[in-house]
């Protein structure tokens, strides 16, 4: 592949439905960005051999010709397409009313997205395919998104953790090196595979309140977008997300107001978070708390609340539609 002419780094942002997509926060980020940059499918990693089709079933849809076809839960690479005779960096991009832009106002034309479901098997080979894609498409930077249910109050800012194996990137971004030991997801497998190949990704994780696990969390999606703006020095239009996040929080407030036990539980979470902030808790301390949560059994939940250690229900949508 020819060397990219752009002086800006080519950035790949990836996320996977399942265990690391609490509140649909990460896949919603990809869908939002994909719509803004008018991304098209560049490459497909077949679900065959990786995905359990009884968990992530293919969908029957009507194709462009009007016939019924199967839409498989494949992993897809999306990105900008510059066709012969066209200009992706000037007229076409500038004509868009809303698109991702740099701080100087120029449109971003070197952003790529990878969306799929967490594979059920053969993770090492799957990670090798991702590493090869990064090489083939001359990607300079990789950001892996994650969201995890946590004992976090919905009424406080979403806690974010940023980590990377690269000392250089830690110095540039303020990220930390993860000290977590325990069960891992596909995001960690890919993270370490890319680091071994010489491209240490940045892992960006959001904490999502566990007591509202049945609905998407636009507030967490917004928090991830905020951090992406900081990391990449870009401007991302939010569209309706801010209004959706406010409505989400208001709805939870109304439900809690009618449930004394839920209200007491949320107040305890708020007091705990406020105490941490009042004590001057550092980002590292909060990150360590988040990592500890991954091993925690959620003992502080209300006794009548059922445990939910399973991944979000993705059977209704086999892969993110970017």
Q: What is the DSSP letter of 15?
A: E
Averaged pLDDT score across all residues of the chain: 85
- Asked if 204 contacts 224 with a C-beta cutoff of 8 angstroms, the reply is yes
* Cα torsion 201, 207, 212, 216: sign: negative
* Predicted pLDDT at 98: 86
pLDDT(255) > 60? yes
* Predicted pLDDT at 159: 92
- Tell me the whole-structure pTM to 2 decimals: 0.82
3-state SS string for 93-153:
HHHCCCCCEECCCCECCCEEEEEEECCCCCHHHHHHHHHHHHHHCCCCEEEEEEEEEECCC
- Asked if 231 contacts 202 with a C-beta cutoff of 8 angstroms, the reply is yes
Instruction: Provide CATH code, domain 11-81+94-240.
Output: 3.40.50.10900
pLDDT(251) > 70? yes
Q: What is the mean pLDDT of residues 161-173?
A: 93
* Predicted pLDDT at 71: 94
- Which SS3 state, helix, strand or coil, does residue 45 take? strand
Number of C-beta neighbours around residue 289 at 10 A: 19
Report how far residue 255's alpha carbon sits from residue 276's, in angstroms, rounded to the nearest whole number.
26
Contact partners, residue 97, CB within 8 Å, separation at least 6:
none
Q: What tens digit of pLDDT does each residue of 234-244 get?
A: 999 999 999 99
Q: What tens digit of pLDDT does each residue of 196-221 get?
A: 999 999 999 999 999 988 889 999 99
- Angle among Cα 51, 54, 56 to the nearest 5 degrees reads 55
Q: What tens digit of pLDDT does each residue of 274-319 get?
A: 888 776 554 555 555 555 555 554 444 444 444 444 333 434 343 4
Q: What is the mean pLDDT of residues 36-62?
A: 95
What value does the CA radius of gyration of the chain take, rounded to a whole number of Å?
20
* Predicted pLDDT at 83: 66
CA 267 to chain centre: 28
pLDDT(322) > 90? no
The region of weakest confidence among 10-14, 79-83, 242-246 is: 79-83
pLDDT(84) > 50? yes
* Predicted pLDDT at 63: 87
């Amino acid at each position: 592949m020819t060397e990219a002419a752009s002086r800006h780094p080519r950035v790949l942002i990836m996320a996977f439905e399942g265990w690391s997509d609490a509140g649909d926060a990460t896949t919603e980020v990809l869908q939002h960005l994909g719509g803004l940059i008018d991304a098209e499918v560049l490459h497909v990693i077949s679900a065959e051999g990786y995905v359990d089709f009884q968990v992530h079933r293919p969908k029957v849809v009507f194709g462009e010709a009007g016939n019924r076809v199967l839409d498989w839960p494949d992993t897809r690479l999306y990105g900008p397409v510059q066709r012969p005779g066209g200009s992706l960096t000037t007229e076409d991009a500038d004509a868009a009313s809303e698109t991702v832009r740099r701080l100087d106002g120029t449109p971003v034309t070197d952003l790529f997205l990878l969306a799929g479901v967490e594979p059920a098997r053969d993770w090492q080979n799957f990670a090798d395919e991702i590493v090869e894609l990064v090489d083939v498409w001359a990607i300079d930077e990789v950001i892996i998104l994650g969201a995890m249910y946590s004992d976090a109050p919905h009424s406080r800012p979403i806690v974010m953790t940023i980590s990377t194996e690269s000392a250089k990137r830690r110095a540039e971004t303020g990220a930390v090196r993860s000290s977590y030991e325990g069960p891992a997801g596909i995001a960690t497998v890919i993270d370490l595979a890319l680091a071994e190949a010489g491209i240490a990704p940045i892992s960006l994780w959001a904490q999502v309140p566990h007591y509202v696990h049945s609905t998407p969390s636009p507030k967490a999606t917004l928090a991830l977008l905020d951090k992406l703006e900081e990391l990449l020095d870009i401007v991302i239009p939010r569209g309706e997300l801010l209004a959706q996040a406010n409505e989400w929080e208001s709805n939870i407030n109304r439900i809690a107001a009618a449930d004394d036990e839920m209200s007491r539980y949320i107040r305890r979470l708020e007091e705990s978070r406020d105490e941490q902030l009042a004590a001057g808790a550092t980002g590292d301390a909060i990150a360590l708390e988040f990592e500890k949560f991954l091993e925690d059994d959620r003992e502080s939940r209300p006794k009548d609340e059922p445990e939910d250690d399973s991944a979000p229900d993705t059977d209704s949508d086999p892969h993110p539609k970017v």
